[in-house]
Each structure stands twice: as structure tokens, then as C-alpha cells.
Amino acid sequence: MIIAGNWKMFRGPEPSALAGLDAIVCPPYTRLRECVEAGLMTYAQNVHWESEGAYTGEISAPMLLELGVAGSLVGHSERRQYFGETDETVAKRTRAALTAGLKVIACVGELRAERESGETENVLRRQLSVLEPHPNLVLAYEPVWAIGTGLTATPEMAQEAHAFIKSLLDAPVLYGGSVKADNAAGLLAQPDVDGALVGGASLDVESFKAICQAAERTRS
């Protein structure tokens, strides 16, 4: 069971408040060092595919590894929606990060219109077609209509999508999309839900801890 907190472009909690928690944190780049030094399992929110070069504004896998960062998110829907991320660039980032020795949480998920028109499986098939299994690759199923909206997939919807994803690619699958302290247990109880990628609720220490505790109870 893996719980990861995506702080997005928020400063986020004080790392010391999360000490000892069995969870991954994905702070903005400026707080990576602080989180690593606090002993937290720390991932970046993105990583470039080249190890260095004329790519203003980007950060490479060797740079993250030098800081003690353990992994990176790749292909978050906000990157796909607002920053031109495509399946091809997701594949390049993922492959380069894994080869360099980072762990990767690669995000997939359908838009609301795609779910409503029955395209969910086709979208997931397309997004996954560029990825290969790897021991350090974890997937996150994040239906875009559920991210930051307060709308959550039902545990049954999550289970159905996760089982479909696993039929295409053998990897643990986290659920993401408005996971909160009060809905985490139901989602995490599903057999193919291997954890959660938590956005908004990870910014609040007590909420994030409650989600980690729900995961702990599911483990035992």
C-alpha cells in the first residue's frame, strides 16, 4: 500500500510534521532538499528525459538523484492539460527516469467527456501503450474529472479501471482524485487499488495522516 502526497504548486506542510510517516511526498522543487533532509521519501513532480542540456526550466534525473530524491511523478493530468505533456513525452520522461535509477509514478486517466462517451478504456489503452513494466514503475489512475473537484470515483469505478489497467500493464496502481480522510478506506479496500495519490488533502497534515492511517488499517 503506497500513499503519495502531491503538493502541486503549494508550499505545503513543514516536513518535520510528517517525520516517520510511511508515505511519499512530492513537494515543489524548492522544497525537495528540506524534505530529503527531514528523512521523508521524496519524489519530484516532474523530470526531464535528458540528463543535461539547453532545456530552460527543466530538471533532470541525475540532478534529482544528487539531491537524494527517490523518484518522480510523470504525466500528471495538470501537466497534460496545461503544459503540453503528451503520451510520447510521458514515455520519454518515464524511460529516462527509470534508467537513471529513479522510481516513477506515471499518471493516466480519462477526461469527463471521455468517460461520458464510453471512451475510458480506449484512453487508458492509448496512455499505457507507450509504457513498459519495470520494477520501479508504479501507475496512478487519476480520472481527470475527479482531480481537485471534490468528485471521487466510487470504489467500484476505481476497482474496474484498476483491473483494466493491470490487464494491460503489470504494475501497482494508485488511485487519485479527491481522496480524503473520509473516503480513503473504501477506495483502498478494493483488491486492485494499491494505494492513493493525494493532492489537496496532502496539504493538511492531519488529513494526510488520517489517509495514511486508513492505508495502515487496510494493510493489517
Compare residues 159 and 178 and give the one whose CB is closer to ligand PEP.
178
Region at 28 (left for phi over 0; alpha for psi -120 to 50; beta for the rest): beta
Does residue 207 touch ligand PEP according to CB under 6 A? no
Catalytic residue among 48, 76, 134, 162: 76
Please give the Cα distance from 94 to 203 (Å, whole number).
26
Are 217 and 8 in contact, with CB atoms under 8 Å apart? Answer: no
Smallest distance, ligand PEP to C-beta of residue 177, A: 5
Tracing cell 527509470 back to the chain, one arrives at 98
Does residue 179 touch ligand PEP according to CB under 6 A? yes
Catalytic residue among 85, 110, 114, 142: 142
Does residue 165 touch ligand PEP according to CB under 6 A? no
Q: What is the 3-state secondary structure (H, E, C) of 23-45?
A: CEEECCHHHHHHHHHCCCEEEEC
Smallest distance, ligand PEP to C-beta of residue 54, A: 30
Q: Looking at 176, 181, 187, 211, which residue binds ligand PEP (CB under 6 A)?
A: 176
Span near ligand PEP by CB under 6 A; candidates 50-58, 89-97, 174-182, 210-218: 174-182
Active site residue 121: no
Compare residues 12 and 177 and give the one whose CB is closer to ligand PEP.
177
Which residue has the closest beta carbon to ligand PEP?
199
Active site residue 142: yes
Compare residues 161 and 201 and give the one whose CB is closer to ligand PEP.
201
Please give the Cα distance from 84 to 179 (Å, whole number).
26
Cα distances (angstroms) measured from residue 37 to each of 19, 32, 34, 83, 143: 10, 9, 5, 30, 33
Does residue 13 touch ligand PEP according to CB under 6 A? no
Residue 163's closest CA among 124, 129, 131? 124
Binding site for ligand PEP (CB under 6 A): 6, 8, 142, 147-148, 176-179, 197-201
